[in-house]
Each structure stands twice: as structure tokens, then as C-alpha cells.
């Protein structure tokens, strides 16, 4: 773990072979989420479902690109983005701190 976020292709290149597939499946909880207008954090798939009927195929993508990143509540009681966690805790410790931080909402909830 080098503390970086990867898409599927980048992840496969970084972790080749069977071990990479297992790590990819295990990384599901670390999926990127962004805030919709209702101030809830959604994965890209949930975000599309939330906006597609309202904005169409191109509209939801534009909204995703403008959306603010998810924040989580740290042990000090403040809300921080993933980038803030990395800046404060470093590349490796940030993962554990992010995973233990309280999300704004439960994963997969629409």
C-alpha cells in the first residue's frame, strides 16, 4: 500500500496477478465518494443513479466533476476530506484513520 488511490486499470498494474484481484475486492470500502446537492456522499454509481433521471447521461457526469469530495469525522470531532487525512497522517496511516473515521452516511444508502 503506497497510500495512493487507483482506478481499476492502475490498481491491476500496481498489484498484478491473483493477489491484485483479491486486494481490489478488499478495497471496496475505500471507493471514492462525492457529495450530491443533498449533502450526502455517493459512489460514482450511486451518484449516477441519483442524478441520471434529472440531468441525463452527460449532466450527471458534469455534476460529479463539480461535486465536493466526501468528508469523514476524525477523532478530533472535525470533518476532513481524504486529502486532509493524508496531509495530516501521512500516506500509510491515513488509510487506517480514514477507515475508522465516521462517514457522513452509511455506504450504499440512497
* 110 located within any domain: no
Residue 19 CA to its chain's centroid (Å):
22
Query: How large is the average pLDDT for residues 79-92?
Result: 90
Task: Determine which of 38-47, 83-92, 99-108 has the lowest per-residue pLDDT on average.
Answer: 99-108
Given a cut of 50, whether residue 83 has pLDDT beyond it is: yes
- How much is the pLDDT for 5? 73
* Same-domain pairing of 69 and 45: yes
* 96 located within any domain: yes
* Same-domain pairing of 46 and 96: yes
* 1 located within any domain: yes
What's the rounded Cα separation, in Å, for the pair 15 and 84? 26
Question: Domain range holding 25?
Answer: 1-30
* 108 located within any domain: no
What's the rounded Cα separation, in Å, for the pair 23 and 68? 27
Given a cut of 50, whether residue 100 has pLDDT beyond it is: yes
Please provide the average confidence, as pLDDT, over all residues in the chain: 83
Report the domain count for the chain.
Answer: 2
Minimal CA–CA distance to 11: which of 94, 33, 98, 21?
21
DSSP labels, 10-27 = HHHHHS-SHHHHHHHHHG
* Same-domain pairing of 57 and 24: no
What's the rounded Cα separation, in Å, for the pair 7 and 86? 18
Given a cut of 60, whether residue 109 has pLDDT beyond it is: no
* Same-domain pairing of 19 and 61: no
Amino acid at each position: 500500500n503506497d497510500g495512493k488511490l487507483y482506478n481499476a486499470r492502475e490498481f491491476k498494474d500496481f498489484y498484478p496477478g491473483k493477489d491484485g484481484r483479491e486486494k481490489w475486492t478488499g478495497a471496496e470500502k475505500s471507493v471514492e465518494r462525492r457529495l450530491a446537492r443533498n449533502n450526502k456522499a455517493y459512489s460514482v454509481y450511486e451518484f449516477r443513479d441519483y442524478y441520471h433521471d434529472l440531468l441525463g447521461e452527460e449532466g450527471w457526469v458534469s455534476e460529479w466533476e463539480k461535486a465536493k469530495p466526501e468528508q469523514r469525522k476524525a477523532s478530533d470531532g472535525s470533518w476532513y476530506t481524504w486529502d486532509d487525512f493524508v496531509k495530516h497522517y501521512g500516506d500509510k496511516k491515513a488509510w487506517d484513520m480514514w477507515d475508522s473515521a465516521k462517514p457522513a452516511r452509511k455506504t450504499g444508502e440512497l
